[in-house]
Amino acid sequence: MRNWSIVTKIVVSACGIVCVLMILGGFVLLNFEVRMVTSFTTEISRGINQFIDKRAEEEMGDLKKKIQLNVEILSGIGSTYLYNLDQDGMRQSLRPYMQYGEVVAIKVLDERVAPFAAAWRDPDVNTGDSLPADPALGKYPSIFVECVREGK
């Protein structure tokens, strides 16, 4: 290096400085790109999660409307069985409603809030006086409809 001319020394120094700056710039650029990709991924994931949550709420609302309609139809049919205290007839009328995919279990109570009839899927349709003590049924949404027969 002692025998090099001043121009050679300046060129080597300039190339060294440029090389160091390019390496530092590359690291900064890579770090920026990683943060940008992470930011985009986080934002897209948040948007997708919000869409999924919103869609789940809409589906739950639609499901409750379907169940509400079926329960109101069943209450009209079941009022006669309740009035006549016909548990077997009530159980038989519950069976077709269990064919709906959104219905997991049906519990019918009398005017004293005592179990009158029930139907549930486990995996086949079963009927009885009351539902089995199954904690898994508690995680599903439920609908309550009061059943009155001609004002009685």
Q: Rounded distance, CA 87 to CA 94, Å?
A: 11
Residue 105 forms beta bridges with which residues? Answer: 120
The confidence score (pLDDT) of residue 136 equals 62
pLDDT in tens, 118-135: 888 877 887 887 777 765
Strands (E), 91-134: 105-109, 115-121, 125-128
CA 1 to chain centre: 72
Residue 107 forms beta bridges with which residues? Answer: 118
Cβ burial, residue 14 (10 Å; 0-12/13-18/19+): exposed
pLDDT in tens, 33-83: 999 999 999 999 999 999 999 999 999 888 888 888 877 888 777 777 777
| Residue type present at position 148 | V
What are the boundaries of each domain within the chain?
6-139
What percent of the chain clears pLDDT 90, i.e. is strictly above it?
Answer: 33
Residue 109 forms beta bridges with which residues? Answer: 115
